[in-house]
Amino acid sequence: MRVGVFDSGVGGLSVVKSLLEHKLFEEIIYFGDTARVPYGVKDQNTIIRYSLEALEFFKNFEIDLLITACNTVSAYALDEMREQSHCDVIGVVDPGVLALKNAIPNIDANILILGTKATVKSGAYEKGLHELGYNNLSAIATSLLVPIVEEGLYEGEVLQSTLNHYFAHLEKTPDAIILGCTHFPLVATAIDNYFDGKSSLIHSGEAIVEYLESHYDFTKRFEETSLKFFASENPEGLRRVAKEWLNLA
């Protein structure tokens, strides 16, 4: 199986990390639209247009599946991409909703959704969760966490005061938190500590793996995966982050 992974920038590498850990693919072709990131502050038409342009890029490769690791793209552009794609296109929202259901079956659970401004505005996670009967939902656009992760500030004062800024007003500790943005798994430990380990964290990468394993036949696992990284700007920068996040030699 060859897979394409699309993200607005470097963040989707958090999903690649999970794909590699589970040895699901023989080849991963990653494209990050680093010239135009962030998508999370753009409007629906722009997000769809950029996503369809990325789809054109992937048409240069023979891929069996395309994963949009970007939550913002998954929230807005999946239908349009599917209409124009020659292979299956999977987003991270539905897998995230299913992973939440598997982790926390209690529909009265207090669920907090974190995402970019656009993802939160779309209400995509809420829609999926409402359909399954969950009603105790809230969402916060924790946009500052995106540049904080890109600066490599996975711990420390700046991160702590940002978490305080977003979470101090919460009256209750959430039972579960959906990390609805590619960057947030990189600060999952800090978020987990903030809530004293009392919230279950739903990570897009793990959710995608769970989804793929239950929807496709992965009888074969690949000890070696060939990785190809492309970016619309500064591909060396993307490769540098990939080396760091994925512990590549």
Q: Is 7 in the site for ligand DGL (CB under 6 A)?
A: yes
CB 63 within 8 A of CB 29: yes
CB of 108 to ligand DGL, least distance (A): 28
CB of 113 to ligand DGL, least distance (A): 12
Q: Is 51 in the site for ligand DGL (CB under 6 A)?
A: no
SS3 call for 66: strand
Of 51, 119, 122, 199, the one binding ligand DGL by CB under 6 A: 119
Q: Is 199 in the site for ligand DGL (CB under 6 A)?
A: no
∠ Cα 39 9 194 (to 5°) = 85
Q: Which residues contact 66 (CB under 8 A, 6 or more apart)?
A: 3, 4, 5, 6, 55, 58, 81, 85, 87, 88, 89, 90
CB 107 within 8 A of CB 132: yes
Q: Which residues contact 215 (CB under 8 A, 6 or more apart)?
A: none
Q: Is 200 in the site for ligand DGL (CB under 6 A)?
A: no
Task: Name the strand (E) or helix (H) holding 14.
Answer: helix 13-21
CB of 133 to ligand DGL, least distance (A): 26
Q: Which is nearer to ligand DGL, 7 or 126 (CB)?
A: 7
Of 18, 68, 162, 182, the one binding ligand DGL by CB under 6 A: 182
Of 15, 37, 77, 99, the one binding ligand DGL by CB under 6 A: 37
CB of 196 to ligand DGL, least distance (A): 26
Number of residues in contact with ligand DGL under rule CB under 6 A: 17
Please report the beta strands in 142-234, taking only residues with DSSP state E, as ranges in sequence order: 176-180, 200-203, 226-231
CB of 118 to ligand DGL, least distance (A): 7
3-state helix, strand, coil in the chain (%, to 5): 45, 20, 35
Applying CB under 6 A, the residues found at the interface with ligand DGL are: 7-9, 11, 37-40, 70-72, 116, 119, 146, 181-183
